[in-house]
Amino acid sequence: MPKRINVSDYRNAARRRLPHIVYDFLEGGALDEQTLASNTADLAGSPLQQRIMRDVSGIDLSTSVLGHRLRTPVLIAPMGLLSLFHPQADVHLARAAQAAGTVFVHSAWSGTPLKDVVAAAPGSVWCQAALWADPRLVDQHLERAADAGVDVLVIAGDVSVSSKRERDLHNGFTMRARPSVRGVFNAVRKPRWVSNFLFGPKITFGDQSTEGRPMTIQEMGEFMEADNDRVTWDDVRSIRERWPGKLVVKGIMSPADAQLAIDAGVDGIYISNHGGRQFDAQPSTFSALPAIAETVGDQADILVDSGIRRGSDIVKMRALGATACLIGRPAVYGAVQSGQRGAAAILDILTAELATALAFTGATSLADVGPGTLALNGTLTTAARAASPRLTGSRDHGDERSADTTPEPASVTPQSTPTSTGPCPHQAAPMKDHHDKQRHHAHPDALG
């Protein structure tokens, strides 16, 4: 079997292993998928500046994010219904993150209860919460997070309105329990996935129920259709008053919203366009990052997802002001292939590529990365150089390096390329919605 040596290889393997409509659900975005495309294209179109004759013998990838000391700046983003792709995927991803010295963010729409995921990877799980229309659900989730010992809460800020994902609509794939003939025919050609669907754990929401029992797929769809379009920053302030730990708002795409989040008392700004799955008429997270970083300065940590497929992408995000980056779809590609082992391989690949990219730019730590890390002909370099004091305070590869005194630096050999093979996917039927042709209520979670 050919070796899988990069994210693209794992993506191709996932395409072969999943039914077409399930793979489209993973890969697809909103409307014309322009934002989805720009997330990767803008990163690919902004080169880094190579530096030579620098001592790069001691690469240290460690960083501090919201009070957590991590061995790598690559976290795993919150993603709902991961068990659609692999049984107990949340647990596998959390354990892979823990082994890599990083963090997994548990989705508010996860198929596995938060307490079970935290128990599987203690100290390496953050909790996402939604601002549901029923405030009792919000209160219950905050209590759930506190009881599990979670100390970082991520508010899903960009799901007040549901998106229209046309791949899923064309495929008849919605949360309505009415399998289409085409979908069933396509799925049976993937017997391992069908086996997991029929005989594996039931698809449901791990932390939500109806009358004390797990929700059916149709009930899950109805639950997700209950958009809360009355959400305001007062809701964030209310949670800030009740939540004792670190607080992050996800979905920030403008300096104005970043400032409102700071004013509401958050500790982290999470720049995300939902992997291109929500609002298609907006820029990439990479192009939105410099102006937001300028506004935030050193008032909060900055997290960013969407479009990261290479370790060099993480350097580029860092150069424009990101504290750390999160991956979505790439982690799923790995989990589809072999659960925890596959997800760990993805993290290893990106971490090794990150170390190599740092070395080529003459850096030995993330503290060395700044606007000058981007090449002069990069399309965003002018904006980057005009960015915040937070950015211009970076070393820009001067002769002196800032010493990052982590007690446990990441041990990385540039360009190591782990491989993995193994198990596969999980449960959830192709559904056809005869009632909602224009508005699609797929699970509202990031797959960046």
Catalytic residues: 274
Tokens (6 digits) for 323: 């504290």
**Would you call 66 exposed, middle or buried from its count of C-beta atoms within 10 A (0-12, 13-18, 19+)?**
buried
Q: SS3 of 438, please?
A: coil
Which phi and psi angles does 69 have, rounded to 5°?
-90, 115
DSSP 359-416: HHTT-SBGGG-SGGGB-TT-TTHHHHHTS-HHHHTS-TT-SS------SS-----TT-
- DSSP letter for 314, please: H
Reported in sequence order, the residue ranges of 193-267 that DSSP labels E, i.e. its strands, are: 209-210, 213-214, 246-252
Q: How many CB atoms lie within 10 A of CB 243?
A: 18
Number of H helices, E strands in the chain: 17, 12
Kindly report the CA angle at 150 between 219 and 322, in degrees rounded to 5? 95
**Would you call 220 exposed, middle or buried from its count of C-beta atoms within 10 A (0-12, 13-18, 19+)?**
buried
Q: What is the CA radius of gyration of the chain?
A: 21
Q: Are 439 and 183 in contact (CB under 8 A)?
A: no
Tokens (6 digits) for 20: 């077409």
Q: How many CB atoms lie within 10 A of CB 45?
A: 13
Helix or strand run (H / E) with residue 242: helix 233-242
**Would you call 116 exposed, middle or buried from its count of C-beta atoms within 10 A (0-12, 13-18, 19+)?**
middle
